[in-house]
Amino acid sequence: MMQGVSVSTLATLVNGGTCGAGSLLRSDLKLLNKTYVSSLVDGPSLWRQSLLRLYSGSSNGIRRRKCTVKATWLFKGDGKGMDANVERSEAANEDIIIFFFQLDLATRVQCALNMEQYEVAQQLRNKLTEVETEIVKQQEAKRGSSSKSEAQDKGITLLRLRADMEKAIEEENYTVAAELRDKISKLEADSLAASAKALAYEKVQYAFRLGQKVRHKLFGYRAVICGMDPVCCESSSWMELANVDKLLRGPTQPFYQVLVDVRADPNLLVAYVPEENLLTNEQPDLDRLDHPYISFLFYGMDSAGDYIPIKQLREKYNKPRHEVPVDPKDEDDDGTV
Per residue in 269-295, pLDDT tens? Answer: 899 999 999 999 888 889 989 999 999
| Domain span holding position 28 | 7-71+90-141
Specify whether the CB–CB gap between 54 and 21 falls below 8 A. Answer: no
pLDDT at 214 (0 to 100): 96
Q: How far apart are the first and last CA of the chain?
A: 37
Query: What single-letter amino acid sits at 175?
Result: T
pLDDT at 336 (0 to 100): 52
Q: Tell me the C-alpha distance between 42 and 13, whole Å.
A: 29
Say yes or no: 222 and 111 in one domain. Answer: no
Residue 226 backbone class (left: φ over 0; alpha: ψ -120 to 50; beta: rest): alpha
Residue 337 lies in a domain: no
Per residue in 200-212, pLDDT tens? Answer: 677 789 999 999 9
Select from 319, 322, 282, 317 the least CA-distant residue to 301: 322
The domain tally of the chain equals 3
Residue 81 lies in a domain: no
Residue 171 lies in a domain: yes
Say yes or no: 186 and 259 in one domain. Answer: no
For the entire predicted model, the pTM comes to 0.65
Say yes or no: 169 and 233 in one domain. Answer: no
Say yes or no: 121 and 153 in one domain. Answer: no
Q: What torsion, rounded to 10 degrees, do the Cα atoms 105, 261, 81, 273 define?
A: -50
Say yes or no: 119 and 238 in one domain. Answer: no
Q: Where are the alpha helices (DSSP H) in the chain?
A: 10-13, 21-42, 44-64, 90-114, 118-143, 145-170, 174-202, 236-241, 294-297, 311-316, 328-334
Say yes or no: 113 and 232 in one domain. Answer: no
Per residue in 293-320, pLDDT tens? Answer: 999 999 999 988 999 999 999 998 889 8
Per mean pLDDT, which of 135-139, 162-166, 215-219, 325-329 is the most reliable? Answer: 215-219
Say yes or no: 298 and 312 in one domain. Answer: yes
Per residue in 62-99, pLDDT tens? Answer: 343 333 333 333 333 444 556 888 999 998 998 999 89
Per residue in 145-165, pLDDT tens? Answer: 555 566 667 778 888 888 889
Arithmetic mean of pLDDT over the chain: 75
Say yes or no: 253 and 308 in one domain. Answer: yes
Say yes or no: 287 and 167 in one domain. Answer: no
**Band of pLDDT at residue 328, cut at 50, 70 and 90:** low
